[in-house]
Amino acid sequence: MKHRDQIRQIAKKVNKSGQRSEMREKALPADEVMAILERTRERDYSYDRFLSTMCTRPHPIAIKAHDMFLETNLGDPGLFPGVAGLEEEVVRMLGELLGCPLARGYISTGGTESNIQAIRAAKNESGKCGGNIVVPASAHFSFDKIGDLLSLEVRKAELDSQLRVDLSSVESLIDEHTAALVGIAGTTEFGQVDPIEELSDLALEWGVHLHVDAAFGGFVLPFLDRSFAWDFSLPGVKSITIDPHKMGLATIPAGGLLFRNQECMNALETETHYLTKARQASLTGTRSGAAAAATYAVMMHLGREGFREMVGYCMDLTDHLVRGAKEIGVEPLIEPVMNVVALRVPEPSKVRERLMDRDWHVSITREPNRALRLILMGHMSHENVDLFLKDLKEVLSE
């Protein structure tokens, strides 16, 4: 069969909602297009049953702000000084939240871009080519992409019994070719916080850049009752990833990258001769002003008080889930630090499948700490946690 025919056949099968797979010659009235979109949207699942995601429904004010700034492009800020000013305000607020009011940075497209850029800056600053970075074994897979993109060896340090990075393992992996150390404040799978204070000491001792990945934890840790030392208040911390599109309740793709000072940012700049600003530090050229506006709107509207309340709600859900799990004989791998729970169940992949059959979207963690992974975001309710526990109990006794 010819390649084109093959593609047509596949497209026919895939397009269950009745869209055509080829670009039409004639216009289709807007209401018909919208009808297709509405039918299509119904095929997406609903957040009510999501226990696997670090994203959530954006706050209504974020949606309004996003809509208002939809056509703005922060890649050419001179054309959009209004939204460029909002981005500066957001960076100032984030810097202050993270213990460094003079921090510099920008609104990226999420944790992956922020991590790439932080390590790229560290590599450029260090002048080390073909070097290595030392990350915890629990690091997000974006660091594997970084190794590939920046031709750096990614050395993975072991975890301790509490699933934090083991410092002696980190020490054994650092050498004169190390361009950066990474600590995680809110690991993807366990919500654990690495010993950032000790990593900061190590980074200063070796004169290497310490990057903290707080893509998830950045909007959680400042609002917990328990306090951690993890941000720019530690002198070794040079950059932080913090994602407004996760616990920040902003719209996708709002990501955040902050550097302790301008010199770190300079290591990312390229010349942009014909644009309204002569230099650019971001990875993408064209980038969403809407995401920056949405972040600004939520941070202003909720204030610290609102975030404390939202995080408090998620932690309540977490306690409720863990208490209920223990009642049916299921224990967490660690006592949750934030609203991420890893439950020890037999055959996690099978349990996950059975739960998916019951419309629960859950995920699992990697070996050697295979477990059922649940994230309690603001879209979850106590009632749904109870329904989930009932189903979990039934699945486990099948």
Positions in the binding site for ligand 0PR (CB under 6 A): 52-55, 110-112, 115, 140, 142, 184, 188, 213, 215-216, 243, 255
Type of residue at 4: R
CB atoms within 10 A of CB 346: 8
C-beta closer to ligand 0PR: residue 191 or 324: 191
C-beta closer to ligand 0PR: residue 135 or 324: 135
Q: Would you call 134 exposed, middle or buried from its count of C-beta atoms within 10 A (0-12, 13-18, 19+)?
A: buried
CB 89 within 8 A of CB 298: no
State the minimum distance, in angstroms, from the CB of residue 205 to ligand 0PR. Answer: 25
- What backbone phi and psi angles, to 5 degrees, belong to 150? -100, 10
C-beta closer to ligand 0PR: residue 266 or 369: 369
C-beta closer to ligand 0PR: residue 135 or 392: 135
C-beta closer to ligand 0PR: residue 128 or 140: 140
State the minimum distance, in angstroms, from the CB of residue 170 to ligand 0PR. Answer: 17
Dig out the tokens for 355 from the structure. Answer: 């739960």
State the minimum distance, in angstroms, from the CB of residue 271 to ligand 0PR. Answer: 27
Alpha-carbon distance of 301 to 90, in angstroms, equals: 13
Select the residue whose beta carbon is closest to ligand 0PR and give its number.
111
C-beta closer to ligand 0PR: residue 75 or 111: 111
State the minimum distance, in angstroms, from the CB of residue 112 to ligand 0PR. Answer: 3
Alpha-carbon distance of 132 to 154, in angstroms, equals: 6
Say which residues have a Cβ less than 8 Å from residue 255's Cβ, sequence separation at least 6: 107, 108, 109, 110, 111, 112, 113, 114, 215, 241, 243, 244, 245, 291
Instruction: Find the Cα–Cα–Cα–Cα dihedral 352, 221, 310, 318, rounded to 10°.
Output: 40
Alpha-carbon distance of 137 to 362, in angstroms, equals: 22
State the minimum distance, in angstroms, from the CB of residue 237 to ligand 0PR. Answer: 15
State the minimum distance, in angstroms, from the CB of residue 240 to ligand 0PR. Answer: 11
State the minimum distance, in angstroms, from the CB of residue 143 to ligand 0PR. Answer: 9
Distance of CA 304 to the CA centre of its chain: 20
Closest by alpha carbon to 292, among 34, 94, 144, 97?
94
C-beta closer to ligand 0PR: residue 138 or 178: 138
Closest by alpha carbon to 182, among 149, 113, 230, 246?
230
State the minimum distance, in angstroms, from the CB of residue 141 to ligand 0PR. Answer: 7
C-beta closer to ligand 0PR: residue 80 or 228: 228
Closest by alpha carbon to 155, among 132, 121, 171?
132
